[in-house]
Amino acid sequence: MFLGTHTPRLDDKGRLILPAKFRDELAGGVVITKGQERCLYVFPMPEFQRIAEQLRAQPMTSKAARAYNRVFFAGAHDEVPDKQGRVTIPAHLREYAALDRDLVVIGASTRVEIWDRTAWESYLADSEDDFADIEEGVLPGGL
C-alpha cells in the first residue's frame, strides 16, 4: 500500500527519483499514465495488469468504456526504475499534468500519483471542505 506525501523535483532530463519508501514495490516495473484531475498515475506492473483485465471485461459497445480505454492506454508508458529509483516521465505526460520542476508525489493506496506542486496545493485547498463533508455512502459503515 502506498501512503504519504513527498516533494521531489523533476530533473532536466524529465526524470523523477521515486520516494525511497515506494521503490521496493515499484522496482519490478511501473506503468505511468494519465490520471484524473490532471495528475499522473503510477502503477506497479501487477496492479496495472489487474486494472487492464477489468477494463478488457467491459463491453466494446460501451462508449464510455471505449473513451476511457483510449485515454488510459494511449498515454501509458512502461519502464523499470534504474538503480537510483529514477523513472523518466515522457514529454506528453509532463505536458498533460503541467509538470514543472517542483512535484508532489502521493501514495494513493494501490497507486502513486504525481502532481505539479501548485496544482496539488490548489486541489487540496479546494477539496478539504468536501473531504470533511463526505457522507456515509462513500465509506460504508463509516470510520
What is the tens place of the pLDDT at every residue in 40-88? 999 999 999 999 999 999 999 999 999 999 999 999 999 999 999 999 9
What band does 135 get if pLDDT is binned at 50, 70 and 90? Answer: low
Distance CA 92, CA 83 (A): 24
* Best CA proximity match to 44, nearest among 116, 109, 120: 109
Are the C-beta atoms of 83 and 27 separated by less than 8 Å?
Answer: no
Residue 136 — very low, low, confident or very high, per pLDDT cuts 50/70/90? low
| Three cell numbers, residue 84 | 537510483
3-state per-residue secondary structure call for 44-93? EHHHHHHHHHHHHCCCCCCHHHHHHHHHHHHCCEEECCCCCCEEECCHHH
Global pTM reads: 0.92
**Cell numbers describing residue 57:** 471485461
